[in-house]
């Protein structure tokens, strides 16, 4: 198992990740998706209420359609609340993370690993949210991975954003109610 705390420190910010690993076309697709994402006032309120530092390690691929459609959501979350410390890692350049965070025996992306401020593993989640899997099942797309060339429809993007927010909020509450962290922060 990798030393996630040390690994986190070597991660890249959202734009740095895309600059290093994305082609011009891939960066264009990520930016187009980033522009489509808008958080509601209640979602801003939830994110603004996070009081514990949350380290978020995101294993991704600039080439991956699922990453195009989801990773910009995480950037929006971290913009709303700087306590969300977001770092990106290219799956192919970090096979140790791909193996450690495999899903169903495969190095899938995106996968998000949540760490406490002192680098304890809190949770991990990926590669697609429940709303996305429901859509795939309904459309009977099978195992094909989307390309990110055709953007998600608005309703699905809204549902996926909420799914991810629910997971970020769940992790926040784990951190906030942790007796160890409450003792550390005297709260």
Query: What is the predicted pLDDT for the residue at 153?
Result: 80
pLDDT one-digit tens code per residue, 78-136:
999 999 999 999 999 999 999 999 999 998 999 999 999 999 999 999 999 999 988 88
Looking at the structure of the chain, the number of domains it has is 1
Q: Looking at residue 155, which CATH number applies to its domain?
A: 3.40.30.10
Between 65 and 142, residue with greater pLDDT = 65
pLDDT for residue 144 is more than 80: no
- The span from the first CA to the last CA of the chain, in angstroms, equals 32
pLDDT one-digit tens code per residue, 71-88:
999 999 999 999 999 999
Query: What is the predicted pLDDT for the residue at 64?
Result: 97
Domain range enclosing 33: 4-185
CB atoms within 10 A of CB 146: 17
pLDDT for residue 147 is more than 60: no
């Amino acid at each position: 198992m990798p030393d996630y705390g040390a690994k986190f420190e070597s991660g890249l910010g959202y734009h740095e990740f895309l600059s290093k690993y994305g082609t011009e076309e891939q960066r264009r697709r990520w930016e187009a998706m980033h522009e489509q994402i808008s958080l509601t006032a209640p979602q801003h309120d939830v994110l603004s209420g996070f009081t514990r530092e949350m380290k978020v390690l995101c294993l991704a691929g600039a080439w991956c359609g699922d990453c195009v459609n989801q990773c910009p959501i995480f950037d929006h979350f971290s913009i709303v609340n700087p306590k969300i410390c977001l770092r990106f890692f290219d799956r192919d350049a970090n096979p140790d993370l791909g193996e450690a965070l495999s899903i169903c025996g495969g190095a899938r992306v995106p996968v998000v690993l949540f760490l406490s401020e002192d680098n304890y593993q809190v949770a991990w989640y990926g590669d697609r949210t429940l709303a996305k899997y429901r859509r795939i099942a309904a459309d009977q797309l099978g195992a094909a991975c989307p390309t990110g060339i055709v953007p998600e429809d608005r309703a699905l993007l809204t549902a996926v954003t909420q799914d991810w927010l629910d997971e970020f909020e769940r992790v926040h509450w784990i951190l906030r109610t942790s007796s160890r962290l409450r003792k550390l922060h005297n709260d």
